[in-house]
Amino acid sequence: MAFSDEDVRANRDFFIAKLRAEKQLHDVVRKVKEGKGDFLLIDARPREAFLQGHIPGACSLPIDAIDRLAPSLPRDRELVVYCWSHH
């Protein structure tokens, strides 16, 4: 199956936007360890998982509360969200 020029451009634009929007884990961890987090770190796991352990400096915002709490998030800082779990 051959891709059209339009398909290639659309895919390129998609991945460029995705790369701009995502941070690499090692970059986030390094900035947190150095105390240079110029972003708000949000833990989107359930609150119980957050209470069992989280990245220092992260705030808890479970996915099921995002609609309700999103308007209160700062608009002048980058938001970095994580949701992994070791369960």
Cα–Cα distance, 20 to 44 (Å, whole number): 20
Give the model's confidence band at 35: pLDDT under 50 very low, under 70 low, under 90 confident, else very high.
confident
5 has pLDDT over 90: yes
List C-alpha distances in Å: 82 to 6, 7, 25, 56.
33, 31, 9, 13
pTM over 0.75? The answer is: no
- The residue count for the chain: 87
Please tell me the CATH superfamily of domain 5-82, with its number.
Answer: Rhodanese-like domain (3.40.250.10)
**Is 37:56 a contact under the CB 8 Å cutoff?**
no
